[in-house]
Amino acid sequence: MKQWIKAASLGLVILSSSMYANAAEAAQKIGYVSTGQAMSELAARYNVQEKLQKEFSGRVAALRAIEGKMKTKIDKMKRDGELMTPKQRTDIQRELAALDSDYKLKAKALAEDQRRRGMEEEQKLVKKIRTAIDTVAKKNGYNVVLDAQAVLFASKSDDLSSKVIAAVK
């Protein structure tokens, strides 16, 4: 009877260890995606940079117009400065100060708005990439998908980058 219990116990241990080994093997399907590469390729595909440039082109033109006015005033000051009356010089200096203040204010607002819109477009791409990663991982049976920067070594067969880029709509 003792031998039968020992044999049953040994069989149970072997059976349970093989079940754990199979479970561990099934949980090890890990892939990776180069998100940096995906972001740059998708940004180029969707012409994000051109889209933002078109959106802000009017404001950039307004800043260039202010720069032109300032250059004209400075050139006039250099050219005719000695012939001007003190009042004329003071008036031009005040105009330059006002233009400079206006330019700085508009340039700062433009830079902030461009940064904000750039982040919004980036977040849209990130959302699309994450959705594509989920879709590709589920379709190919991956349990874990990492960023390629976090991977020290992996097989090229586990690189899902091209599949993810292709899956983004």
CB of 31 within 8 A of CB of 160?
A: yes
CB of 52 within 8 A of CB of 117?
A: yes
User: Is residue 93 in a domain?
Assistant: yes
Q: Where are the alpha helices (DSSP H) in 27-85?
A: 35-45, 48-80
User: Is residue 148 in a domain?
Assistant: yes
CB of 152 within 8 A of CB of 40?
A: no
User: Is residue 73 in a domain?
Assistant: yes
CB of 35 within 8 A of CB of 125?
A: no
The structural domain count of the chain equals 1
User: Is residue 13 in a domain?
Assistant: no
User: Is residue 8 in a domain?
Assistant: no
Which range of residues forms the domain containing residue 116?
27-165
* Mean pLDDT (whole number) for 35-49: 90
* Mean pLDDT (whole number) for 5-22: 49
Question: pLDDT tens digits for 70-92?
Answer: 999 999 888 988 888 899 999 99
Question: pLDDT tens digits for 121-132?
Answer: 999 999 999 999
Geometric angle at alpha carbon 143, from 140 and 146, rounded to 5°: 95
pLDDT in the model for residue 22: 52
pLDDT at 118 over 80: yes
* Mean pLDDT (whole number) for 27-35: 85
For residue 149, what is the domain's CATH number? Answer: 3.30.910.20
User: Is residue 22 in a domain?
Assistant: no
User: Is residue 6 in a domain?
Assistant: no
